[in-house]
Amino acid sequence: MSADSTPYVNKRADPSVGDYATMCRSCLSRRAALATPAVFPWASSRPTIPRDLPVEPRMRLENALPGRLMVALTLDACPGGFDERIAKALVESGIKATVFVTGLWLRENPAGQAFLLAHRDLFAIENHGELHIPPILGHRRIYGIRVAGDLATVRREVTEGAASISAATGTAPRWYRAAAGYYSRSAMLAIQHLGFGIAGYSLNADEGASLPA
């Protein structure tokens, strides 16, 4: 959590935020995910579903080379542990990866954090929130996790998560991915206004971390 009460601001935010080239080539997780620009195809049109009903962005790589299979492979490091088997396999194979980490995970997994930082040529570290709270408005649970409920909580979750990453790595994150992968639409806009690209999936392979490895 941030050491002072000043809200975290992503000072590195610029028009390129959300550009796939700034994110990852391949990434660490059971979730095969694709990140696209922070502007969504439906952003300028009227929603066909209630505004703050949870949505899971489905995304594909924009600039995939013709004739080549390309995947952005990612890992969400939530409140759980560190599976060194996966990390070592990626290092041994020279596979680049983006890891979306929570502030909680950073504090509970110093060995995992050290491993990722020792291989910064392979692993990019991005924002999964401070306490793994889904950025969804209202009163509900998703995959058993209580949601943020309001925009103030969403902003605090995102900015404090970013501050934890900056303190641990010395680098400001540029991307945010929701706990459980779901967002309220108004929460996505609020997160973009903080300067972060929204990360989603083309394939969510673990159903809110509920499937076995």
pLDDT recorded at residue 58 = 81
pLDDT value, residue 57? 87
Domain of residue 167, CATH code: 3.20.20
Residue 107 sits in which domain range?
20-198
Q: Is residue 206 part of a domain?
A: no
pLDDT score of 138: 94
- Total domains in the fold of the chain: 1
Q: Which parts of the chain have pLDDT scores under 50?
A: 1-9, 11-49
Residue 86 lies in a domain: yes
Taking the model in full, what pTM does it have?
Answer: 0.76
Q: How far apart are the first and last CA of the chain?
A: 29
**pLDDT (0 to 100) of residue 207:** 65
State the Cα torsion 29-180-60-213 to the nearest 10°: 30
Tell me how crowded residue 14 is: count the other CB atoms within 10 A of its CB: 11
Is residue 70 in some structural domain? yes
